[in-house]
Amino acid sequence: MTRTLSTSSPRPQHLLTRILDEPELVSIVQSLEAPVLSKLIDHIGLEDAGELVALATTEQLEKIFDEDLWRSERPGKDETFDAERFALWLQVMMEAGVEFAARKLAELDEDLVTLAICKHVLVIDIDALAERMSDSRRSADEDLTDKALESCLYEEFGEYQIIAKDHHSWDAIIAVLVELDRNHHDFLTRMLERCCYISTEYIEDNGGLYDVLTSEEMLESDVAAEREERREQEGYVAPSSAASFLNLARITPLEELRTSETVDPITRSYFRSFERAAGDGSKKGTQALSQGAPAQRVQSEKVVRFLQELREAEVLEEPGQQPLLAAGERQEARAEPLLKLAVVALRDRNPDVHVERLRELSYLANVLLSGCGFGGRGFRPLEAADAAMAVCNLGLERLLNGEPATSEATVEQAEELLERQGLVKLFQVGWSILHHDVLLFTARSLQEMLTRMAAGLREPRRAKELAWTAATLRADINAGKPWQSRGRLDGLGSTLDRATILALKALLSEYPLLPRAIVGGSKGTERRDARFISTAKHVQAVREFVQELGAG
């Protein structure tokens, strides 16, 4: 009898119990791709997934940490290391024994472990501290620092004194440091030496003003740069790079984007790293094939079955092709965007270029995921793919039809253009249109409308509020970021009706959306991508809507 994990999406704890009953759990877990294992751990809950974490390989943990230990406040802002999350991971790892936790730390990247430890403790040279405390010329500030240090938890390791920055993770950190001292002494010595240097600067500079990075910040910057390089080779786009790419497309004149024959440096760097990683992966794959292992093929079949069970348990999504990959016949009706039809047709015409365009779409979707807000939040993966397609379709129409449009292009014309022109350029042209013809047009029209309304009001307080909103909107427009005023629109409730405010908030998003007031239909029946502005007709409808609003 074939046993499955679930037929009705079990609770995480029940799912974990069934997984742990898997006879070949160790080999299956260690064969999983890191993102899959990460989703499984996240579904169960890290605090309850100690048994799975104990089975993970160091390589899996490194890749999971690249994703899980870094947080960004908002799309486009660089991610920073989450020390509290690392402490939780350490505590979960110690459920498998302090020996296991120490061994894994010693196998992980030394910079990463040093950064994590520095976030939680100070490391002081005992001799230097004693000399400092005996100095009769010490300042009052130094006396206060010493008294504060005396009240902290501390432990001594050889020539170093380890002092807690906070008490929450102290027991776990000291326990693992003791084990590192016992079985990985050289690793611990190197790490404590680096932590001591960083802590010395921390104590000397804490509370003062300085213009250079502290050593801890420099270490975090180095670790973040190495992480970004690894993730870039796997297809990710760093938030700062994504934000720069999008901003470059906003500020570059449309005609320059349309006629340019060069690739921007951000995209060029991304694909250079991607191609280098692909070459390295090809070499590794060739080596693996040359070694030929039937047992690996058998194991892969078990992993496939295991993954299917996880899908049935709704841990993973069912494998589905993105809209761009649909194999459907050439459609006579133009229900689908012109770009999507052209890409489908291109698959038969030139498969190599078709694959290249899919790779470009993946890059552009990742740009939106990392660098752009979406209705006050970040994009989800499928949303980002649909949104990237919509922007590219805008660019395709402009390159084919010009402005104003003289005729409606055919699928064949779009296919021919797509064969010689990459999606990145189409996206840049479309993004410029979306920013200038939709977002800025809406913002300027609203600013003018609020200014007129404020001038016509007899109530001083309300007139002042509208004038202030108009002024802040004008400032955001001048800064090139009108979406920053989006949250202030709720304050216009006494001036505009709720439906109008929602429509304006959709249009004033960093990625403008087609308001429901224009697209029509109920939320439950409209297509997933129906609210993405993807055609010149959509842009015209938006402008007419905004003009009517201003006239009213």
420-437 mean pLDDT: 95
Query: Same domain for 415 and 514?
Result: yes
64-85 mean pLDDT: 86
Give 78: exposed, middle or buried? Use CB within 10 Å, 0-12, 13-18, 19+: middle
What pLDDT is attached to residue 521?
A: 47
The answer to the question of residue 143 being in a domain is yes
In contact, 97 and 179? CB cutoff 8 Å: no
Give 47: exposed, middle or buried? Use CB within 10 Å, 0-12, 13-18, 19+: exposed
The answer to the question of residue 329 being in a domain is no
Per residue in 174-232, pLDDT tens? 999 999 999 999 999 999 999 888 877 766 655 432 333 345 566 777 777 777 777 76
The answer to the question of residue 127 being in a domain is yes
The answer to the question of residue 270 being in a domain is yes
Q: Which residue, 231, 258, 273, sits at the end of a domain?
A: 231
Q: State the angle between helix axes of 185-205 and 215-233 in degrees (0 to 180), rounded to the nearest 10.
A: 120
Query: Same domain for 370 and 501?
Result: yes
DSSP state, 23? T
Confidence of residue 67 (pLDDT cuts 50, 70, 90): confident
CA 404 to chain centroid, in Å, comes to 37
Query: Same domain for 362 and 425?
Result: yes
Q: State the angle between helix axes of 498-507 and 536-551 in degrees (0 to 180), rounded to the nearest 10.
A: 140
Rounded Cα–Cα distance for residues 468 and 454 (Å): 9
Query: Same domain for 128 and 244?
Result: no
Query: Same domain for 216 and 244?
Result: no
Weakest-pLDDT range from 54-63, 405-414, 482-491: 405-414
Per residue in 334-382, pLDDT tens? 467 899 999 999 988 899 999 999 999 999 999 999 899 887 788 888 8
User: Amino acid identity of 266?
Assistant: I
What pLDDT is attached to residue 289?
A: 39
What pLDDT is attached to residue 536?
A: 92
Using CA atoms, how far residue 67 sits from 31, 59, 81, 447, in Å, is 19, 13, 10, 41
Give 201: exposed, middle or buried? Use CB within 10 Å, 0-12, 13-18, 19+: middle
What pLDDT is attached to residue 230?
A: 76
In contact, 378 and 325? CB cutoff 8 Å: no
Rounded Cα–Cα distance for residues 366 and 379 (Å): 10
Other beta carbons less than 10 A from residue 8's beta carbon: 7
Highest mean pLDDT, choosing among 85-99, 268-282, 290-304, 525-539: 85-99
Q: Which residue, 231, 248, 274, sits at the end of a domain?
A: 231
Range of the domain at 128: 69-231
Query: Tokens standing for 185?
Result: 């002494």
User: What's the mean pLDDT when you consider all of the chain?
Assistant: 81
Half-sphere exposure of 433 (CA within 13 A, CB side): 30
Query: Tokens standing for 341?
Result: 């039809």
In contact, 346 and 419? CB cutoff 8 Å: yes
What pLDDT is attached to residue 6?
A: 42
Share of the chain above pLDDT 90, in %: 42
What pLDDT is attached to residue 526?
A: 41
Per residue in 282-331, pLDDT tens? 454 444 434 444 444 445 777 888 888 888 877 877 654 444 444 333 33
For the cut 60, the answer to whether the pLDDT of residue 394 exceeds it is yes
Query: Same domain for 216 and 249?
Result: no
11-28 mean pLDDT: 81
Highest mean pLDDT, choosing among 250-264, 268-282, 509-523: 250-264
Strand partners, 144: none
Per residue in 112-151, pLDDT tens? 999 999 888 888 888 776 666 565 555 554 554 455 555 5
Query: Same domain for 250 and 137?
Result: no
Domain count along the chain: 2
Buried/exposed code over 460-481 (b: 16+ C-beta within 10 A; e: otherwise): eeeeebbbebbeebbebbeeee
What pLDDT is attached to residue 336?
A: 79
402-421 mean pLDDT: 80
384-397 mean pLDDT: 94
Share of the chain above pLDDT 70, in %: 79
What pLDDT is attached to residue 329?
A: 39
For the cut 60, the answer to whether the pLDDT of residue 406 exceeds it is no
Weakest-pLDDT range from 41-45, 172-176, 387-391, 492-496: 492-496
Query: Same domain for 206 and 270?
Result: no
Other beta carbons less than 10 A from residue 371's beta carbon: 24
Residues in contact with 551: Cβ distance below 8 Å, sequence separation at least 6, in sequence order: none
Query: Same domain for 193 and 126?
Result: yes
Query: Same domain for 260 and 146?
Result: no
Query: Same domain for 273 and 217?
Result: no
Please calculate the CA angle 97-98-100 and round it to the nearest 5 degrees.
Answer: 70
The answer to the question of residue 144 being in a domain is yes
Radius of gyration of the chain (CA): 28
User: What is the helix (H) or strand (E) element at residue 373, kind and residue range?
Assistant: strand 373-374
The answer to the question of residue 38 being in a domain is no
The answer to the question of residue 29 being in a domain is no
52-70 mean pLDDT: 92
Query: Same domain for 209 and 159?
Result: yes
User: Amino acid identity of 526?
Assistant: E
The label of the residue with tokens 């055919």 reads 410
In terms of Cα–Cα distance, which of 476, 395, 403 is closest to 432?
395
Other beta carbons less than 10 A from residue 405's beta carbon: 14
The answer to the question of residue 15 being in a domain is no
